[in-house]
Structures are given as C-alpha cells and as structure tokens.
Amino acid sequence: MTQHAFRILVAEDDESLMRVLCFKLEKAGFSVQSAHDGLEAWNFACDEKFDLVITDNHMPNMTGTELCQKLADLAGYQSVPIVMLTGKGMEADFKQLHRQLGLAESFVKPFSPRRIVATINRLLTPSEAPTS
C-alpha cells in the first residue's frame, strides 16, 4: 500500500481494460480518475494535478500521443511520469515515442496489470524519484 494516496489519471477507451486497471490501482492504494478518451483526460488534467498519467495511444477525440504533447506544455506536468499503453501493432514505435514524448514507461497490450502497479510504485517511490 502506498503511504500517500498518489493521484493517477487513466485514459483508456476500452471499458473492460479501464475497469481492471482502476480496480488494481485502487486496490494498491492509489486515487484514480478515469477518462474514456484523450480529450476527457486533457480536461481532467487542466482542472486537477495528477502524480502520474496512464494513457492508451489510440483513443477517440485525442490520441495518447496528442495528450502527452499537450501535457508537456501544461504548467506543473513537465515532471509527471507518463505510462503509455498500446496494441501489439505499435510495439516498434515505442523507442521513438519514448524519445519524442519523454515517456516514463510503456506497455504493449495485453499486459499484466500487476506489472503496471509495480512499475507505478517504482516510478512514484520518493527514493527513486529524479532529483532535479
């Protein structure tokens, strides 16, 4: 369990996957806000500060790539870790996306929700946080 209830924004248009991710993250002690597309996630990010963002790459209204680009320009989000989810077909583009968008981590679907929780715990652990 996390000592501080870190706030996580999850943008995923697949309802089943969204439910699984939110359940696992909340069970691990995180406070989770879900968005069903990139535009909804953007609106939440403009209104509230999140400690970490998880986004699918292919979503309606705004892609995960577009969301990441907009977050990079949003005050207070330059150091917020972003985890990108995408389908198997996009696997080859991850190295380029990591460089372009400064992603903290990426996962190809299908993935282990348990592994995502472990990765998020690692990314949000103060002792491993960047000291910039």
- Which tens digits make up the pLDDT trace of 122-132? 999 865 444 44
Contact between 4 and 27 under an 8 Å Cβ cutoff? The reply is: no
Q: What are phi and psi of 57, to 5 degrees?
A: -80, -45
Per-residue pLDDT at 89: 59
Which has more pLDDT, 1 or 82? 82
Per-residue pLDDT at 101: 82
CATH of 7-60+73-122, one of 3.40.50.2000, 1.10.3720.10, 3.40.50.2300, 3.40.640.10: 3.40.50.2300
Question: Residue 57: how many CB atoms within 10 A of its CB?
Answer: 23
Sorted by where each begins, the domain ranges of the chain are 7-60+73-122
- The separation between CA 46 and the C-alpha centre of its own chain, rounded to angstroms, equals 15
Contact between 87 and 63 under an 8 Å Cβ cutoff? The reply is: no
Q: State the Cα–Cα distance between residues 52 and 109, nearest whole angstrom.
A: 19
Per-residue pLDDT at 125: 83
Evaluate if residue 104 carries a pLDDT over 50.
yes
- Which tens digits make up the pLDDT trace of 54-102? 999 889 999 999 999 999 999 999 999 999 988 765 555 667 777 778 8
Evaluate if residue 2 carries a pLDDT over 50.
no
Evaluate if residue 12 carries a pLDDT over 70.
yes
Q: Write the burial class of residue 68 (CB in 10 Å: 0-12 exposed, 13-18 middle, 19+ buried).
A: buried
Q: State the Cα–Cα distance between residues 36 and 97, nearest whole angstrom.
A: 22
Per-residue pLDDT at 24: 95
Per-residue pLDDT at 93: 67
Query: What mean pLDDT comes out for the span 8-18?
Result: 95
